[in-house]
Structures are given as structure tokens and as C-alpha cells.
């Protein structure tokens, strides 16, 4: 089964963005649940087949702290 990897980051404007690694898929969502639905929809639109794929999300979170 084919596996697609997405880099997920929090957007400075709010919400989340996801960028496919090795595929030209980019999408966004206001919440993680909406983002997941957007990723699935984008994958179905990008690939014009009914093949099942594993979607792996790498969630990158940046945090700044003062020391």
C-alpha cells in the first residue's frame, strides 16, 4: 500500500497547513480535524483512482520560551 507523508504546521494566521512530501499537494484547515478531511479530499482530487493510501502526518510544532 502506498504511503504519503504530509508536513503539518500551525499557520501564523491561525489554523493549520499541510504540504505533501514528494507530491504537489498543499491544503489547510482551521482545526486538525478539518485539516485531516481537507488532506483526504486533496489526495482524492490529486490521484484520479480509487487506490487506498496510508496518509502519515508529521505535525511540526514550534514553541518559543524565554530562559
What's the CA gap between 47 and 58, in Å, rounded? 21
CA angle at 19 for the pair 65 and 48, rounded to the nearest 5°: 160
List per-residue pLDDT tens for the chain, 67 residues long: 899 999 999 998 999 999 999 999 999 999 999 999 999 999 999 998 888 999 999 999 888 899 9
pTM of the model: 0.88
Amino acid at each position: 500500500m502506498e504511503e504519503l507523508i504530509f508536513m503539518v504546521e500551525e499557520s501564523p494566521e491561525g489554523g493549520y497547513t499541510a504540504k505533501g512530501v514528494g507530491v504537489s499537494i498543499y491544503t489547510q484547515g482551521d482545526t486538525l480535524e478539518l485539516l485531516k478531511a481537507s488532506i483526504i479530499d486533496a489526495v482524492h482530487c490529486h490521484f484520479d483512482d480509487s487506490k487506498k493510501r496510508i496518509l502519515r502526518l508529521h505535525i511540526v510544532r514550534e514553541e518559543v520560551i524565554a530562559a
